[in-house]
Each structure stands twice: as structure tokens, then as C-alpha cells.
Amino acid sequence: AQSVSQHNHHVILSEAASLELGCNYSYGGTVNLFWYVQYPGQHLQLLLKYFSGDPLVKGIKGFEAEFIKSKFSFNLRKPSVQWSDTAEYFCAVKIGTASKLTFGTGTRLQVTL
Amino acid sequence: GAGVSQSPSNKVTEKGKDVELRCDPISGHTALYWYRQSLGQGLEFLIYFQGNSAPDKSGLPSDRFSAERTGGSVSTLTIQRTQQEDSAVYLCASSPYRGWANTEAFFGQGTRLTVV
């Protein structure tokens, strides 16, 4: 069955540090890729998405992600994190023509001052 | 409304009782999804509606779980004879197009269900 892996379960960074969160999926066909963020006490919201074209996708709040098809990866990056980036981050994949999103288990990011 | 609305926000129920969770999607959104979020488990897909029909209900964990959608709008997720393992946050999402193609899903705040 198709799956999405997020290998970092809990990441702790100091403010201004660079961030990279891993996301890998297991499917060889067409995929649409998403990163969602859930700030404490808030609902899930879209950070960025990839459907086609430029594999480097820019999102809100300075986040970006790169789709590397050969590696089945869609890693999330930010050059300099802020305390307000403390949240849980979910990678999600839409596989082929399926209607649902398959989510990873999430990565909890804690940014310290 | 302005966003996806779910009620109640919190529900504590005794084992064996039935519960109903409600989702009001964004007006005009034809697709509606239910997910379950458990600690350390990520988001587990339950069921997908397009209009009032459910083309994909593959994620419902057992026949104790059912969902319906009426008028292409409000959806209700019903869990019968609740068990402790049903404790989780139940999330609803809606999107304006068929499936997820080239659009994002908008999530509600969720209903936190605790079975004691």
C-alpha cells in the first residue's frame, strides 16, 4: 500500500537555525504533494503544494519544498526559523487519481529562543 | 460560513454509548472528508463524500462507524457502541472541486472524542 514517511518525529531548533524536514512516499506514479502545518490550538492549514512544473515550491512564511522524483522525496526547508514556527508539520500525498490525501505521522517542531 | 465548522469541539462519552459528530463545510464545497488524528499516528483517512454520495469509505475502521451527508452540505459521523480506542480528534475537511486536483483542503478545528 502507498505510504508517507516522516522520519523526524520531534525536532528542536534555536531561533535562526536552518530547518529541513524529511518526507518520503512510496508510489511510482503521478503524485500531488502537500505540506500542512498545525499551530498549537489551531486547525490544519496548507503551507505549500506541488502539482507540476518547477520542483522547487515556495510557500507561506518563508517555507519552501523540493520535489525530487528520483528519491520519492518532498522535503520542507526554511533558512532561518522563528519561535512562531513552533508547530506540527504534516506531509501529505495525493496518489494518482485517488480522491484522498495520505498523511505522514507528522513532525513536531519546537523552536527555542 | 467562513470556515469548516465542527461540533461539538469536545465530547466525553462512556464506553458503549453512541456519538454523533457534525461537520459544516464551507458553503459551495462539494467534496467533504473525515479524518481521525491520534497521538503519534498522524491523520487517518476515514471517508470521502462528493455531494451526498460516498465514493470512498475505505478508511472506516469497523461497521460501528458510519457517515452521511445531506443536501450536499452538513455531514454527520456516527460511532456506535464506542470503545476506548475510538478516542481521538476527528477532523473534517472540505474542498471546492471533485477530488483534490489543483486545490487545497480546508480543515475544521476538529472534535476531540474521549471514551471513558
How many angstroms away from the CA of B6 is the closest CA of chain A? Answer: 11
Q: Averaging pLDDT over each range in B66-80, B87-101, B102-116, which range is the top one?
A: B66-80
- Whats the size of chain A, residue-wise? 113
Query: A43, B50: Cβ pair inside 8 Å?
Result: no
All residues at 6 or more sequence positions from B22 whose CB lies less than 8 Å from its CB, including other chains: B6, B7, B8, B74, B75, B76
Nearest chain A residue (CA) to B54: A99
The CA distance from A65 to A78, in Å, is: 9
The pLDDT value given to residue A49? 92
Q: What burial letters (b/e) apply to B39-50, b meaning 16+ CB within 10 Å?
A: eeebbbbbbbbb
Query: B45, A100: Cβ pair inside 8 Å?
Result: yes
B33 and chain A: CB distance < 8 Å anywhere? yes
Outline where DSSP puts E strands in B1-116.
5-7, 10-13, 19-24, 31-38, 42-50, 53-56, 65-69, 75-79, 88-95, 106-107, 111-115
A89 and chain B: CB distance < 8 Å anywhere? no
Average pLDDT value for chain B: 91
Of A49, A51, A99, the CB nearest to B48: A99
pLDDT by position in tens, chain A (length 113):
668 999 889 999 999 999 999 999 988 788 889 999 999 989 899 999 998 899 999 999 999 999 999 999 999 999 999 999 999 999 999 876 667 888 999 999 999 99
Q: Are A107 and A88 in contact (CB under 8 A)?
A: yes
| Structural domains of chain A in order of their starting residue, each with its CATH number | 4-112 (2.60.40.10)
Query: B109, A105: Cβ pair inside 8 Å?
Result: no
Exposed, middle or buried, A37 (CB in 10 Å: 0-12/13-18/19+)?
A: buried
Find cell 476531540 and name the residue.
B112
Exposed, middle or buried, A33 (CB in 10 Å: 0-12/13-18/19+)?
A: buried
* Of A70 and B99, more confident: A70
The alpha-carbon radius of gyration of chain A (Å, integer) is 13
User: What is the distance between the terminal CA atoms of chain A, rounded to a whole angstrom?
Assistant: 41
| pLDDT tens, residue by residue, B39-84 | 767 899 999 998 899 988 999 999 999 999 998 899 999 999 999 9
The pLDDT value given to residue B2? 79
* B30 alpha-carbon distance from chain centroid: 15
B43 and chain A: CB distance < 8 Å anywhere? yes
* Residue B71 DSSP class: T
| Structural domains of chain B in order of their starting residue, each with its CATH number | 5-115 (2.60.40.10)
